[in-house]
Amino acid sequence: MNVSGQTHLLRCQCGAVECVGQGAPIGTAVCYCDDCQAAGNQLAELPGAPLVLDPDGGTALTLFRTSRFAVRQGGERLVAHKLRPDSVTNRMVASCCNSAMFLSFDRGPHWVSTLRNQFVAEQPSIQFRHMTKYRTSTLPYPDAVKPHPKFPPRFLGMVLRDWVWMKLGR
């Protein structure tokens, strides 16, 4: 992982697992899909687990290209949690303290979705609030970011642009 720019450090709550995202993230979002909400509730039931869901039920994520993300320490402690046995999404949890760290995929996306609550330093502002058609909270949104019932076209454009840049070797 040789990319210039900022290093983004994630750490589980006990410090045994560390991950790093290198360079600028693809984007930042809060997801309200039913799977993220269900998984966040399941993971909250693990002993001593920090919350995954924000107070309004969203999961705050920062996306990094897979090639710009690495587990730096404690990889042997990471356990994949699947919402359903046939799910392609793996919510990677530090077994030492039950901290959800990131989402990886059995196939598909070229990115890793990292849990913003595990970052050591402040992260870029949230750019998107998507899949809000599944949001059940009546709390007001915590910022002025426009909510989208599905995936906003600009978000999809950012992901596609990053995929093209990756294919071009950038």
Report the pLDDT value the prediction gives residue 50, as an integer from 0 to 100: 94
Length of the chain, please?
170
Q: Considering only CA atoms, which of 65, 74, 143 is closest in space to residue 104?
A: 65
Distance from C-alpha of 119 to C-alpha of 101, rounded to nearest angstrom: 9
- State the average pLDDT over residues 104-124: 90
Domains and CATH numbers, the chain: 7-167 (3.90.1590.10)
Q: Cβ neighbours of residue 33 under 8 Å, at least 6 residues apart?
A: 130, 131, 134
Q: Considering only CA atoms, which of 59, 41, 65 is closest in space to residue 129?
A: 59
Q: What is the three-state SS of 2-70?
A: CCCCCEEEEECCCCCCEEEEECCCCEEEEECCHHHHHHHHHHHCCCCCCCCECCCCCEEEEEEEHHHEE
Report the pLDDT value the prediction gives residue 107, as an integer from 0 to 100: 84
For residue 4, pLDDT over 60 is answered with no
Distance from C-alpha of 38 to C-alpha of 16, rounded to nearest angstrom: 26
For residue 136, pLDDT over 80 is answered with yes
**Arithmetic mean of pLDDT over the chain:** 93
Distance from C-alpha of 98 to C-alpha of 45, rounded to nearest angstrom: 10
Using a cut of 0.85, tell me whether the model's pTM lies above it: yes
For residue 12, pLDDT over 70 is answered with yes
Task: Decide: residue 35, CB within 10 A, 0-12 exposed, 13-18 middle, 19+ buried.
Answer: middle
Report the pLDDT value the prediction gives residue 124, as an integer from 0 to 100: 85
Report the pLDDT value the prediction gives residue 169, as an integer from 0 to 100: 82
Report the pLDDT value the prediction gives residue 10, as an integer from 0 to 100: 96
Distances (CA, A) of 165 to 1, 23, 168: 16, 14, 5
Q: Encode pLDDT of 53-112 as tens digits.
A: 999 999 999 999 999 999 999 999 999 999 999 999 999 999 999 999 999 999 878 899
Within a 10 A sphere around the Cβ of 121, how many other Cβ atoms? 8
Q: Which residues pair with 73 in a beta bridge?
A: 18
Report the pLDDT value the prediction gives residue 145, as an integer from 0 to 100: 95
